[in-house]
Structure 1
Amino acid sequence: MLEDYKRLAETKDPVARSRLIRQVSAAYADRSANNPSPVERELFSSIVLDLYDQLSDDVRMDIVVRLARTDRITPALAARLAREDIYMSELLLEHSPCLDDQTLLSIARDRDSACKQAIARRTALSAIVVDALISTDLKPVLLALLRNRGALFTQNAVLVSTIRAQGQDHLLFEIADRCLIDDGFSTQLCTLIESGCPFLSAAFKQAVLDGELGHYVEQLDRHTASTEISIGDETFSRHEAQVSIASGDLSFESVLQLLLNDDDRDGVVWFLSRHLNISPDGMSNLLMSRADASLSRMMSGTGVSEQFYKHFLMTRDRWLGRTRRSYMDDMRRFRQLVAEREKVDLDELPGQLTATG
């Protein structure tokens, strides 16, 4: 192998170099050979990266096909190959154990639906990557995640799945099917239902709580439920709010944004009441009253941004049938309350550090 590396260093002709690196990668990927040492792994990957811009697409594709399912390349080389067009990177995105969460998160936020779907099919997916994929608001990606037993769903990920399943039998079918094979997912869904989750039908919720979900699934229209969703120029239903989350996670703000964009007042009331430990009736009364100062104080502790809070107020005013020329006073009060909370947190920090020490 070292002789091949020396020949690569000495070869100047691009065609000969491409041919040689293909031979080297074939030998390197040979499963009958001994596993490469860390030094060999680093050396091979470094050479490919150094020569990357000089390699033809055929050679790059050859490397992907031979090494995508192995741990014989470095994360740096895997990340570089994963940035290629989908026809070349799909196998790597779906199978490579050398892609870390940071790389997958970056691709989940920046690349097209086909790349996101390839990631969603990986044998194992951490909760943070699942959150980022779900936040992109693409039906085929959500379908792939629901069908992937290796994808770890947070409670917010389960919640957003139920929001997007409203009026969508194919998504409802997949959620039900996931519950039947994933106890963790089922437990989280039960927790949401028991807390009054308004995004699922009464029949579906009762079937979950009664342990009759299998029978309920059989009653769904399987033809409709199993239909794949094409991307193309399709216009999605109003239930799919356009979520644009720069950080790619499912934070409190991003889930609330989803509900506001869908103009789901009942959903907003339920979600806020659950998060803030207030009864739904109490939350509804506060939200639909003119107690602006109380609302500012409550929202100042949620961690939402100023930009989002203004959007929240504008949506609430529309629900109230109220128009205002300016939100200056509300925003000033909100900033002041946030600053006071941050000061209290900083003042309490030394005591907390002493207690833990």
Structure 2
Amino acid sequence: MADGIVQQLQHLARENDPEARSLLIRKITAEYARRTGLAPSETERELFSALVLDLYSQIDLSARRDIITLLARTRHISTILAERLANEHDDLVASLFEFSPMLGDKLLLHSARVRSEAVLRAIARREKVPEDLVDALMSRAYNSVVSELLKNLGSDFSANALLLCSIICQTSFEIQSLMAARCLSDQAFHGRMKSRAEQGCPFMPEELAKAAREGRLPEWVEKYESQTLVDDGETASLSREEFLVKINLGEITFDQLLQALIRKKRKEDIIWLLKDAPGLSPRAMQHLLTSPANRILFRLLVEKEVSVKTFTALTQWRAQSLGFPDRHVNREIEAYRQLMHQKVRAQRSSL
């Protein structure tokens, strides 16, 4: 195999066309990563890794992304190459951080302290996440990362990590539910959490602590999972697309969903919901939301039959979260009320 790699990569090195070079290195990497039969020898592994490193700076970003994805799960590369790939931009390396067996503990710990939320989520999904790595990930306090760790039975929670969970979950019903669900499948986690509840941990939400003490966690999880977005404002259990289906089926109204998102102050989801109707970009919708006396936004909301009550909550949220001038709040609400009255009168006259 070594001779074959040398010949192919020598061909690659002589190739001047950037597109052709990128295509060749993709093909060679795919062939190497997907080979069947005997594993490559140490010489072949080192040779392949060294040659890819030599050529790496000559290939475009798209090819780099593909190489990282192709090599993410293999043991048949050098640690040096794996670490070089890990130094790429966060947008490119999620698969590597989730799957690669060639990333050392020191690199993973350092990455948990400095890399983006997306990389941290990938690390949290690794097959094994030891206590010190869980502690490092938890210390960044991203809810999405904590959720991934709780769902991953290969992650080991220390007493300190469980304490952080208790603190973080105070403002997240999703994390409370995941803690309860983890107890049902992880005896050690359950034992620690029950012990903390019995000792009167001041950070654990009382309802969750009571369920742990009384052995009612299965009921607690079932109760939580049966709640809808409209009941408690959480969107964790359903995707955005699933909520749109619910609206189309008449199981929830646009107004109810918007109310729930405003209550939770979920800026990205509010923008997503509002932009979806007219097919605007998130940036364009945010511009509409931050512009006073915006008749386009008014027409959009009237068309979607957003109530005056919900519009009032939205306008107040705009002032608090998006820099909308609060001196215009009452004027905007009254103008919207008049538009809604006009719509109701027009509907009645058409009957």
Q: How far does residue 7 in structure 1 lie from its aligned partner after superposition?
A: 5.3
**Greater shift after overlay, 83-92 or 154-163?**
83-92
**Residues 86-235 of structure 1 correspond to what in structure 2 (within 5 A)?**
86-220=90-224, 222-223=227-228, 224=232, 227-228=235-236
Q: How far does residue 35 in structure 1 lie from its aligned partner after superposition?
A: 1.0
> Structure 1 8/31 Cα, relative in aligned 2: closer, same or farther at 3 Å?
closer
> Structure 1 176/129 Cα, relative in aligned 2: closer, same or farther at 3 Å?
same
Q: How far does residue 179 in structure 1 lie from its aligned partner after superposition?
A: 0.9
CA deviations over 1:45-66 (Å, ceiling 9, x no partner): 1221222211222332232232
What TM-score, normalized by structure 1, do the two folds share?
Answer: 0.59
Q: How far does residue 235 in structure 1 lie from its aligned partner after superposition?
A: 7.8
Q: Quick one: which amino acid aligns to residue 5 of structure 2?
A: D
Q: Quick one: which amino acid aligns to residue 134 of structure 1?
A: M
Question: Partner of 2:75: helix, strand, or coil?
Answer: coil
Task: State yes or no: 1:84 paired with 2:92.
Answer: no
Q: How far does residue 19 in structure 1 lie from its aligned partner after superposition?
A: 4.2
Distance 1:61 1:203 in 2: 46
Q: Quick one: which amino acid aligns to residue 155 of structure 2?
A: A
Q: Quick one: which amino acid aligns to residue 81 of structure 2?
A: L
CA deviations over 1:291-319 (Å, ceiling 9, x no partner): xxxxxxxxxxxxxxxxxxxxxxxxxxxxx
Q: Which has the higher helix share?
A: 2
Q: How far does residue 225 in structure 1 lie from its aligned partner after superposition?
A: 8.3
> Structure 1 177/48 Cα, relative in aligned 2: closer, same or farther at 3 Å?
same
Question: Partner of 1:156: helix, strand, or coil?
Answer: helix
Decide whether the 8 Å contact of 2:166 with 2:205 is kept in 1. no
Percent identity over the alignment is 39
Distance 1:153 1:225 in 2: 28
Q: Quick one: which amino acid aligns to residue 81 of structure 1?
A: L
Decide whether the 8 Å contact of 1:170 with 1:225 is kept in 2. no
Q: How far does residue 199 in structure 1 lie from its aligned partner after superposition?
A: 1.4
Decide whether the 8 Å contact of 1:93 with 1:119 is kept in 2. yes
Decide whether the 8 Å contact of 1:127 with 1:154 is kept in 2. yes
Task: State yes or no: 1:24 paired with 2:32.
Answer: no
Query: What is the match of residue 301 of structure 2?
Result: none
Question: What 5-or-longer segments of structure 1 have no aligned partner?
Answer: 237-357
Q: How far does residue 209 in structure 1 lie from its aligned partner after superposition?
A: 2.3
Decide whether the 8 Å contact of 1:180 with 1:186 is kept in 2. yes
Task: State yes or no: 1:68 paired with 2:72.
Answer: yes
Distance 1:222 1:181 in 2: 22
> Structure 1 166/4 Cα, relative in aligned 2: closer, same or farther at 3 Å?
closer
Task: State yes or no: 1:49 paired with 2:50.
Answer: no
Runs of 4+ that moved beyond 6 A: none
Alignment RMSD? 2.6
Question: Partner of 1:45: helix, strand, or coil?
Answer: helix
Decide whether the 8 Å contact of 2:5 with 2:48 is kept in 1. no
Distance 1:97 1:226 in 2: 36
Q: Quick one: which amino acid aligns to residue 136 of structure 2?
A: A
Of structures 1 and 2, the one with the larger relative CO (CA 8 A, separation 6+) is 1
Distance 1:235 1:134 in 2: 23
**Greater shift after overlay, 33-42 or 143-152?**
33-42
Q: How far does residue 200 in structure 1 lie from its aligned partner after superposition?
A: 2.0
CA deviations over 1:177-206 (Å, ceiling 9, x no partner): 111111111111122223321112344223
Question: Partner of 1:106: helix, strand, or coil?
Answer: helix
> Structure 1 156/111 Cα, relative in aligned 2: closer, same or farther at 3 Å?
same
Q: Quick one: which amino acid aligns to residue 235 of structure 2?
A: T
Decide whether the 8 Å contact of 1:140 with 1:228 is kept in 2. no
Distance 1:198 1:36 in 2: 55
Distance 1:21 1:216 in 2: 53
Question: What 5-or-longer segments of structure 2 have no aligned partner?
Answer: 240-263, 267-351
CA deviations over 1:321-344 (Å, ceiling 9, x no partner): xxxxxxxxxxxxxxxxxxxxxxxx
Q: How far does residue 4 in structure 1 lie from its aligned partner after superposition?
A: 3.2
